[in-house]
Amino acid sequence: MRNLRKFVLLVAIVAIALAGCNKGAPAPAGAMKAAGKALTIGLVLVGPYNDQGWSQANYDAVQYVTSKVPGTKMVYIDKANSADRPGTTVSQLAESLMGQGAKFIIFSSDDMSDEAVKFAQAHKDIFVVMSSGSQVWKDGKNYQALPNMVNIMGRMELGKMIGGVAAALTTKTGKIGYLGPLINDETRRLASSVYLGARYAWTNYLKKDPAKLQFKVTWIGFWFNIPGVTSDPTQVADDFFNSGYDVVVSGIDTTEAVTEAVKYAAKGKKVWAVAYDYAKASEVAPNVNLGVPYFNWGPAYVNTAKAAMAGTFVSHFEWNGPDWNKFNDPDSGAVGFNKGGALSPEAAVGVDKFVGELAGGLNLWTGPLSLQDGTELLASGAVATDQQVWYLPQLLKGMQGQSVSK
Amino acid sequence: MAKTRSSNALLQGAAIVLAVLLTTLVLLAAKAPPFAAYANIVLGAVGSWDVAANVLVSWVPLLLVTAGLLITFTAGLWNIGIEGQITLGAIFTTWMLRGLQASGLDPSLIISMSILAGMAGGALWALLAGALKTFGGVNEIFGGLGLNFVASALNLWLIFGPWKRPGVASMSGTVPFAPSLWLPTLTEQSRLSPSALVIALLAIVLVYLLLKGTYFGLRLKAVGKNPNSAYLLGVPTWQHMMISFALCGIFAGLAGAVQVTSVYHRLIPSISSGYGYLGLMVAMLAGFNAAVAAPVALFFAALNVGSIQLPIVLRQDSSLAGVLQGTLVLFVLLMQGVRERLAGKGLPQ
């Protein structure tokens, strides 16, 4: 009798195990059908794939996926914007990638939001990643139900703060310029994060009067230069250097802040720049380069590709921070900061100290904080919610420059 | 007669061969495999129903623009301002759509009125170039170029200024219109709007009939061949030039309206997509003949769409399609010169 019971139990266990093997892990609710063992990833880049900035960071990340996830392949189209590819639409370009077998499309620029949504709605069987967007953030302002879309973004606010610290610890004139792209939620919060970091280092490390720190934002109108359409970022960087701003922090996809700093340094001016987006951007121009806050899209793209292959791809929004335990590890963490050659040893100590404080829980998005026009954003001691940071309506008080496009 | 015809065909064939040869040399210089490049362009243009539909989507504005340009070319005018006329068409269309989108009117009425507004916008801009020529003595090439820059600046100002997205000025253009205000497409996934296609085909047929079969067309031709003689023979010359500008502007404006209502569903900075300049090439390559222009425009559209494969498959720049288009036009014009010389007419004027 006992043996029979044991036998029944055994059979039941085996049956369950077999059933488990058959189906794999149960698919979560709303998950898309598994792509299986092979997956072609189509990447749509807004700029050139080798721009040493935003687009290259995405390009390298998908190459990282193909090296880490067996069965994945990459196809891409770069310069996917209507100025570079007149007459085309981004969704049409994405379909061209589908024509090359892509079942998983990454739209890697905020500029592509409308087209990415159009595409996701028209191709419900394709896995869509809309990087830097918030369309499928349930707690966001513009939630749209798109079962085949995932939003991925890195908490670049933290990287930008570190860049701000590097800038503040370096400037001799107390004037920091921010080379901004276009004005939107993302660019406001990133410019403001640089300012928060700079002000923190200025007052807490250098013990200087916050009123003596000048921080100015100039927007060029797009993520990179389009002659005749945007302001020329070269010109904007020059204007900063010519008017006493000795550190220019880049907020655009391309490298003009650093290249112009190199030119001015060659003329004997004491100027520096903080690069943006691309991890290896810290390696260039060691005489002016203070470092680069960069995106490490690889790990998040790996997870999402694996989910698509395994049948666990569920529409969601993710906003990933650095891995403080393994800061700057390419295999973990979405954001990092690489120091540049021009960061002085003392400033480097300050940067490391700041990174340690962030890792220990320091949050500069803590009140009292006011918006540029004086309205209170956070009361004393209040900590900003994700929504307050993501949808920052203006620059912060103390920053110069346009908050809203007029 | 038969002899000239066959030697013509030979010269045209030579032009095509030379253009392909030169493009192949460019490909070899860029270290790209020429055969694979051509094969990919072909596949990218006709490899599936979807891409073939995209070719038609691109054909529509190109055909409209070419149809318009045939009229101004017939009148002996170089309407370089066509790009600006497309842009103004798009701006007027957007303006009407914005004004009426919340009006509660029937969407098809709103779309129709917006397209009409676009046609008016294009005509207005073309008449401006015409007026500069007629009353200001400004050659239409220079006037048109200037107006192109003004149109482009106006467009950017609207997108980054009064018509910007709430709180965001973006290169991605104005806020997209609601899907009810898009020209309906074949299927939900398709980009091709049958109505736009029908409009474009009607346009080229209309222009063909206008130029071949009407008294107006004949007089326009007279103006184009020799305005002084036409004037002496009693053709009101400048009036005919103005009308041809207006007609061309209407077609260009229509192309702009299609770009807004059926392709981008919003106003974007490069809304004309270079179709104006491309249309000039199509018209020249087609020998200013409406019947030939339609297939040539289709071929150019196919090259444009097909060449998207070059960066994807071969990592080559897609501007190669432009090289082929440009050299084709150059060699065809060159061969026309050769033909005229052979025919003993001396150098072309």
Please report, for chain A, the start and end positions of each structural domain, with discontinuous segments joined by +. Answer: 39-156+298-320, 157-294+342-400
- Whether the CB-CB separation of B60 and B298 falls below 8 Å is answered with no
pLDDT per residue over A367-378, tens digit each?
A: 999 999 999 999
Give the model's confidence band at B3: pLDDT under 50 very low, under 70 low, under 90 confident, else very high.
Answer: low
Mean pLDDT of A252-264: 95
If DSSP codes are grouped into helix, strand and coil, which group holds residue A131? strand
Phi-psi region of A215 (alpha: psi -120 to 50; beta: other; left: phi over 0): beta
Tell me if A182 and B188 make a contact (CB, 8 A cut-off): no
Residue B317 has pLDDT above 80, yes or no: no
Q: Closest Cα of chain A to B142: distance in Å? A: 19
pLDDT of B340: 81
Paired sense of beta strands A369-370 and A376-378, if any? antiparallel
* B136 interface with A at CB cutoff 8 Å: no
Q: Specify whether domain A157-294+342-400 bears CATH 3.40.50.300.
A: no
Mean pLDDT of B185-209: 92
Tell me if A83 and B171 make a contact (CB, 8 A cut-off): yes
Any residues with CB less than 8 A from the CB of A151 and at least 6 apart, and which? Answer: A129, A130, A131, A132, A133, A134, A135, A136, A137, A316, A317, A318
Residues paired with A42 in a beta bridge: A75, A105
Query: Which of the four CATH numbers 1.10.3210, 1.10.3470, 1.10.287, 3.30.1360 does domain B43-316 have?
Result: 1.10.3470
Q: Measured between beta carbons, which residues in chain A are less than 8 angstroms from residue B274? A: 86-87
Tokens of A108: 């890697």
Tell me if B269 and A83 make a contact (CB, 8 A cut-off): yes
Tell me if A99 and B156 make a contact (CB, 8 A cut-off): no
Tell me if B152 and A228 make a contact (CB, 8 A cut-off): yes
* B339 interface with A at CB cutoff 8 Å: no
Q: What is chain B's Cα-based Rg?
A: 21
Residue B62 has pLDDT above 50, yes or no: yes
Domain definitions of chain B by residue range: 43-316
Q: What is the mean pLDDT of chain A?
A: 92
ipTM comes to: 0.86
**3-state SS, one letter per residue, for B114-175:** HHHHHHHHHHHHHHHHHHHHHHHCCCHHHHHHHHHHHHHHHHHHHHHCCCCECCECCCCCCC
pLDDT of B249: 98
In 3-state terms chain B splits into helix, strand, coil percentages (rounded to 5) of 75, 0, 25
Phi-psi region of A381 (alpha: psi -120 to 50; beta: other; left: phi over 0): left
Residue A13 has pLDDT above 80, yes or no: no
Q: Which segment, A7-11, A82-86, B196-200, is predicted with the most confidence on average? A: B196-200
Name which of A50, A126, A183 to mutate to probe chain B: the one with the most chain B Cβ atoms within 10 A of its Cβ. A183
Q: Measured between beta carbons, which residues in chain A are less than 8 angstroms from residue B164? A: 405
Tell me if A182 and B275 make a contact (CB, 8 A cut-off): no
Q: Specify whether domain A39-156+298-320 bears CATH 3.40.50.2300.
A: yes
Angle at A321 between CA A315 and CA A323, to 5 degrees: 120
Compute how many other C-beta atoms are within 10 angstroms of the C-beta atom of residue B179: 13
pLDDT of B316: 80
Length of chain A: 406
From B160, B268, B318, residue closest to A405, measured CB to CB: B160
Starting from the edge strand earliest in sequence, which strands make up the sheet with A316-320, in order?
A: A72-77, A39-44, A104-107, A127-131, A149-154, A316-320
- Whether the CB-CB separation of A291 and A247 falls below 8 Å is answered with no
Q: Which residue of B has its CA nearest to A183?
A: B168
Q: How many CA atoms lie within 13 A of A265 on its CB side?
A: 18
- Whether the CB-CB separation of B97 and B117 falls below 8 Å is answered with no
Give the model's confidence band at B58: pLDDT under 50 very low, under 70 low, under 90 confident, else very high.
Answer: very high
Tell me if B44 and A99 make a contact (CB, 8 A cut-off): yes
Q: Closest Cα of chain A to B153: distance in Å? A: 8
Q: Measured between beta carbons, which residues in chain A are less than 8 angstroms from residue B168? A: 182-185, 405
Q: Which residue has the tokens 């994807």?
A: B312
In 3-state terms chain A splits into helix, strand, coil percentages (rounded to 5) of 40, 20, 40
Residue A387 has pLDDT above 80, yes or no: yes
Q: What is the mean pLDDT of chain B?
A: 91
Give the model's confidence band at A6: pLDDT under 50 very low, under 70 low, under 90 confident, else very high.
Answer: low
Q: Does residue A368 have a cis peptide bond before it, meaning omega lies within 30 degrees of 0?
A: yes
Q: What percent of chain B has pLDDT over 90?
A: 65
Compute how many other C-beta atoms are within 10 angstroms of the C-beta atom of residue B198: 11
Compute how many other C-beta atoms are within 10 angstroms of the C-beta atom of residue B316: 20
Mean pLDDT of B265-288: 93
Residue B1 has pLDDT above 80, yes or no: no
pLDDT of A11: 55
Tell me if B170 and A182 make a contact (CB, 8 A cut-off): yes
Any residues with CB less than 8 A from the CB of B342 and at least 6 apart, and which? Answer: B7
pLDDT per residue over A31-45, tens digit each?
A: 899 999 999 999 999
Tell me if B311 and A75 make a contact (CB, 8 A cut-off): no
Touching A: B residues 271-330, CB under 8 Å: 273-275, 304, 308-309, 311-313, 318
Give the CA distances from residue B248 to residues A148, A377, B159, B281, in Å, rounded to whole numbers and listed in that order: 45, 55, 26, 16
pLDDT per residue over A202-248, tens digit each?
A: 999 999 999 999 999 999 988 889 887 789 999 999 999 999 999 99
User: What is the spatial distance between Cα A229 and Cα A221, in angstroms, rounded to a whole number?
Assistant: 8
Tell me if B172 and A111 make a contact (CB, 8 A cut-off): yes
Give the model's confidence band at B172: pLDDT under 50 very low, under 70 low, under 90 confident, else very high.
Answer: confident
Q: How many CA atoms lie within 13 A of A170 on its CB side?
A: 33
Tokens of A208: 């200087």
Mean pLDDT of B113-121: 98
Tell me if domain A39-156+298-320 and domain A157-294+342-400 are identical in fold: yes
Give the model's confidence band at B320: pLDDT under 50 very low, under 70 low, under 90 confident, else very high.
Answer: confident
Give the CA distances from residue A401 to residues A179, A394, B60, B236, in Å, rounded to whole numbers and listed in that order: 11, 10, 44, 58
Name which of B172, B273, B307 to mutate to probe chain A: the one with the most chain A Cβ atoms within 10 A of its Cβ. B172
pLDDT per residue over A32-80, tens digit each?
A: 999 999 999 999 999 989 988 999 999 999 999 999 999 999 999 999 9
pLDDT of B13: 83
Tell me if B169 and A85 make a contact (CB, 8 A cut-off): no
Give the model's confidence band at B348: pLDDT under 50 very low, under 70 low, under 90 confident, else very high.
Answer: very low
Q: Which of B125-139, B167-181, B226-240 has the lowest mean pLDDT?
A: B167-181
pLDDT of B12: 80
Give the model's confidence band at B310: pLDDT under 50 very low, under 70 low, under 90 confident, else very high.
Answer: confident
Give the model's confidence band at B5: pLDDT under 50 very low, under 70 low, under 90 confident, else very high.
Answer: low
From B58, B176, B269, residue closest to A229, measured CB to CB: B269
If DSSP codes are grouped into helix, strand and coil, which group holds residue A291? strand
Mean pLDDT of B182-201: 90
pLDDT of B168: 72
User: What is the spatial distance between Cα A270 and Cα A246, in angstroms, rounded to a whole number?
Assistant: 7
pLDDT of B68: 98
Mean pLDDT of B181-197: 89
- Whether the CB-CB separation of A224 and A182 falls below 8 Å is answered with no
Q: Which has more confidence, B179 or A14?
A: B179
Tell me if B168 and A184 make a contact (CB, 8 A cut-off): yes
Tell me if A182 and B50 make a contact (CB, 8 A cut-off): no
Touching A: B residues 184-243, CB under 8 Å: 188-189, 191
Phi-psi region of B344 (alpha: psi -120 to 50; beta: other; left: phi over 0): left
Give the model's confidence band at B349: pLDDT under 50 very low, under 70 low, under 90 confident, else very high.
Answer: very low
Q: Which residue of B has its CA nearest to A394?
A: B167
Name which of B42, B170, B258 to mutate to probe chain A: the one with the most chain A Cβ atoms within 10 A of its Cβ. B170
